[in-house]
Amino acid sequence: MKIIMQLDELSCPSCLQKIEAGVSQLGGVNTTKVLFNASKVKVDFDDSQIDKEKIIDTISNLGYEVKGVKIK
């Protein structure tokens, strides 16, 4: 399953690394890609191992507000 999340504006390249590292370490996450200029995060994950709420919570706990979610 894939999820695309719109975040508040990302202010620095280290945000990209922080989010990718934090989400990628979660069990069940296959890939994490941050689109810095668009302030979006794309995550491909196995929904039998992790749910989208856990991914959203992780990003929130890293200090970023998720403004919108699209599931593919």
Tell me the pTM. 0.93
Is residue 9 pLDDT above 90, yes or no? Answer: no
15-35 pLDDT, tens digit each: 899 999 999 999 999 999 999
Task: Parse the chain into domains and list their residue ranges.
Answer: 2-71
Q: Write down the mean pLDDT value for the chain.
A: 95
Instruction: Report the pLDDT value the prediction gives residue 38, as an integer from 0 to 100.
Output: 93
How far does Cα 13 stand from its chain's mean position?
Answer: 15
Instruction: Report the pLDDT value the prediction gives residue 11, as an integer from 0 to 100.
Output: 82
What is the Cα–Cα distance from 34 to 17, expressed in whole angstroms? 8
Q: Which CATH number fits domain 2-71: 3.30.505.10, 3.40.50.720, 3.30.750.24, 3.30.70.100?
A: 3.30.70.100
Residue 71 class from Cβ within 10 Å (0-12 exposed, 13-18 middle, 19+ buried)? exposed
Q: Over range 47-59, report the average pLDDT.
A: 97
